Amino acid sequence: MKLLVSNDDGVFASGIRALADTLAQAGYSVTVVCPDQERSATGHSLTLHQPIRAEVVEGVFHPAVKAWACSGTPSDSVKLALWTLLPQPPDLILSGINHGPNLGTDILYSGTVSAAMEGLIEGIPSAALSLGSYTSRDFGPAAQFALDLVRALEANPLTQLVLLNVNIPAVPAGEIAGVKVVRQGVRRYRDVFEKRQDPRGRSYYWLAGELIEDDGDGDGATTDVMAIQEKFITVTPLDYNLTSLAGLNLLKDHQLLCPDL
């Protein structure tokens, strides 16, 4: 099984090394194509107005891993891998392991999820994996779950093309409560831009804010935001089609639709 691994934390991040090395040691054919530096919160941005460079990386990953560092975004990296660097399309694309969670509406900003989404757009099964902590350095349980997930998908491929957004709680393996397939919750921020001054007296602004988490619809259903707080690994299937079905029904009889125009 051929695997493409990318991320948004950059080629030297501990998470991607743990993921790629674990998969390679298990006997999978692993290729890494990822940004040459951290590109977090870049969403699905693409590089259009400057060249993209890719350099072979040696001495960072397991000897069996082929690796390139890309000067572009996570989405650039996956596009470049699929259309230029790889001789054949991979069977599965994995993005991560991100250093920090990608829960709820975080996925709209996440470079990790966007790298996996690029694979989905190209018709390749994909998964985004994130560790639910910005401070923990123990990627072992997350990498082991990624290996278990790859083996499960290899044995029983999904019958429909989806992106699996996976978040692993940052606790010892023995404390993980299990795995839950859950819907996306809400993880918003009450944004605050702190005004500061540089040494030359010029003003600049630093984005900060308060995290707000809830279940989204208020229907009491378990979400990714809620389940990871209970130490569950969360798996949320995603698609790139953002059409609101409720909105379609709402607009059918809305007066903004003017048949005379």
pLDDT tens digits for range 105-149: 889 999 999 999 999 999 999 999 999 999 999 999 999 999 999
**Structural domain total, the chain:** 1
224 found inside a domain: yes
The Cα 61–Cα 16 span in angstroms is: 9
Of 24-38, 87-101, 173-187, 200-214, minimum mean pLDDT range: 200-214
Identify the CATH number of the domain in which residue 78 sits.
Answer: 3.40.1210.10
201 found inside a domain: no
The Cα 154–Cα 215 span in angstroms is: 32
Task: Give the H or E element holding residue 208.
Answer: strand 203-214
249 found inside a domain: no
The sheet with strand 2-6 has its strands ordered as 54-56, 66-70, 29-35, 2-6, 92-99, 126-131, 163-168, 232-238, 178-181
pLDDT tens digits, residue range 191-206? Answer: 677 888 999 999 988 7
β partners of residue 37: none
207 found inside a domain: no
76 found inside a domain: yes
Range of 103's domain?
2-185+220-241
pLDDT at 251 over 90: no
pLDDT tens digits, residue range 9-54? Answer: 999 999 999 999 999 999 999 999 999 999 988 888 898 999 999 9
176 found inside a domain: yes
Nearest one of 19, 240, 243 to 117, comparing CA atoms: 240
215 found inside a domain: no
260 found inside a domain: no
pLDDT at 221 over 90: no
